[in-house]
Amino acid sequence: MNDYYTDLGVAREATPEEIKKAYRKKARQLHPDVNPGAEAEAEFKRVSQAYDVLGDPAKRASYDRGQDPYGGATGGFGQGFTFSDIMDAFFGGTAAGARGPRSRTQRGHDALIRLDIDLPTAAFGGEQTLQIDTAVVCSTCSGAGAQPGSGTRTCDVCSGRGEVQQVQRSFLGQVMTSRPCQACRGFGDVIEHPCFDCSGEGRVRTRRDLTLKVPGGVDTGTRIALQGEGEVGPYGGEPGDLYVEIQVEPHDVFTRRGDDLHCTLEVPMTAAALGATLPVETLDGPVEVDLRPGTQPGQTVPLAGKGISHLRGEGRGDLVVHLDVKVPTRLNDTQRDLLAQLAESRGESSPTGRMGAAGGVGRKHSLWDALRGR
């Protein structure tokens, strides 16, 4: 009696997966293209025979009880030996499990659309109506693909198996291979009268409106997933998902950085010197900002909680107001006299200025420029 376990190099308690793996490994090593010669070919036949027995649970069980389906003879293949696994091992064909007619029904594709929203919607969230074009189930045939009242008939080319077998000559003699039936595209049956509305695919494209709840805090690039709102699959297959990619339109006044907003506020020189209360527009409406006397150019006033909602967690970012102190450029005679008097009283009639490193001013500027540039 042949010792098939030794031929494959596996233990007697090896799992079916281990047996398959061991066989594939040996089959690759012994393939006549890799390893020519009568010896390798004989060895190849031996391990293939061993696999034919051990790879089949019923044959393996009877072999374990002492019955060898080959009756001790080596080299001759019995009836019903399938070569699918040999073909798999060499040609990377389909897994042995994927045989027989395939299902018409398939899951549909995911869909992606872009949605432009304005900054207030990004800040607070809101409902948006989307128009989407996707495949939906054909209402005429309810996804079956056949005209109402008609059906399918078994494919007469493959007799419903979905695959046709072919005999090929090989170094092992004649080998049976199978490939999907072209007449029925592997389905095993044929739709006799395809539905006119969907050309027999069971789905049609339509445009529909969808209401999307945009959460506060989204930013450009945020994707919102809507389960099952993508393309319906052929023949009533489960729909894919719809992804909505957010694009936030730039705002005239506010620049976003993370969940903070930034803006500039022009302040007259006199207001900066004397202090003032100025109105500021925010996304929440107007508020008032108090400037201390002696406010300097480039100073910022943070307005806590007036920025963008945090997408995850509570609360909101800030609105940072950058003060832009304006020096008057046109003065009438009275104003010039007043400023001259001010200069004199401050001992600044012949100013000398005070030298300092450029770092301070320059740094502030470049920070702000960087914010605006984003």
Residue whose CB is less far from Zn ion, 6 or 199: 199
Stretch of residues binding Zn ion (CB under 5 A), selected from 182-190, 235-243, 287-295, 330-338: 182-190
In the complex, the smallest distance separating the C-beta of residue 178 from Zn ion, rounded to whole angstroms, is 12
Of these, 10, 117, 123, 184, which contacts Zn ion (CB under 5 A)? Answer: 184
Per-residue binding string, Zn ion, 188-207, x by CB under 5 A, is: -------x-xx---------
d(CA 161, CA 118): 56
Q: Return the closest-CA partner of residue 203 out of 107, 138, 134, 106.
A: 138
Residue whose CB is less far from Zn ion, 24 or 102: 102
Tell me the C-alpha to C-alpha distance, in Å, between residue 116 and each of 138, 218, 265: 31, 11, 28
In the complex, the smallest distance separating the C-beta of residue 179 from Zn ion, rounded to whole angstroms, is 11
Q: Return the closest-CA partner of residue 203 out of 157, 143, 155.
A: 143
Longest dimension (CA), the chain: 124
In the complex, the smallest distance separating the C-beta of residue 187 from Zn ion, rounded to whole angstroms, is 7
In the complex, the smallest distance separating the C-beta of residue 207 from Zn ion, rounded to whole angstroms, is 18
Residue whose CB is less far from Zn ion, 55 or 101: 101
Of these, 1, 73, 96, 183, which contacts Zn ion (CB under 5 A)? Answer: 183
Residue whose CB is less far from Zn ion, 82 or 140: 140
Residue whose CB is less far from Zn ion, 203 or 306: 203
Q: Characterise 231 by phi-psi region: left (phi > 0), alpha (psi -120 to 50), beta (else).
A: beta
Residue 346, token pair as written in the block:
């401050």
Count of beta carbons in the 10 Å neighbourhood of residue 349: 10
Residue whose CB is less far from Zn ion, 184 or 263: 184
In the complex, the smallest distance separating the C-beta of residue 145 from Zn ion, rounded to whole angstroms, is 6
Per-residue binding string, Zn ion, 214-253, x by CB under 5 A, is: ----------------------------------------
Non-local (6+) Cβ contacts of 260 within 8 A are 307, 308, 317, 318, 319, 320
Of these, 8, 54, 158, 301, which contacts Zn ion (CB under 5 A)? Answer: 158
**Burial (CB count <10 Å: 0-12, 13-18, 19+), residue 303:** middle
In the complex, the smallest distance separating the C-beta of residue 106 from Zn ion, rounded to whole angstroms, is 16
Dihedral sign from CA coordinates of 138, 141, 142, 144: negative
The site that binds Zn ion (CB under 5 A) totals a number of residues, namely 12
Dihedral sign from CA coordinates of 53, 58, 60, 64: negative
Q: Is 284 near Zn ion (CB under 5 A)?
A: no
Residue whose CB is less far from Zn ion, 150 or 220: 150
In the complex, the smallest distance separating the C-beta of residue 164 from Zn ion, rounded to whole angstroms, is 7
Residue whose CB is less far from Zn ion, 56 or 197: 197
Non-local (6+) Cβ contacts of 132 within 8 A are 111, 113, 207, 208, 209, 210, 229, 242
Site for Zn ion in 120-149 (CB under 5 A): 138, 140-141
In the complex, the smallest distance separating the C-beta of residue 210 from Zn ion, rounded to whole angstroms, is 23
| Binding residue numbers for Zn(2+) | 138, 141, 155, 158, 181, 184, 195, 198
d(CA 26, CA 43): 9
Which amino acid type is present at position 136?
V
Stretch of residues binding Zn ion (CB under 5 A), selected from 23-31, 73-81, 153-161, 264-272: 153-161
**Burial (CB count <10 Å: 0-12, 13-18, 19+), residue 167:** exposed
**Which spans of this chain sit near Zn ion (rule: CB under 5 A)?**
138, 140-141, 155, 157-158, 181, 183-184, 195, 197-198
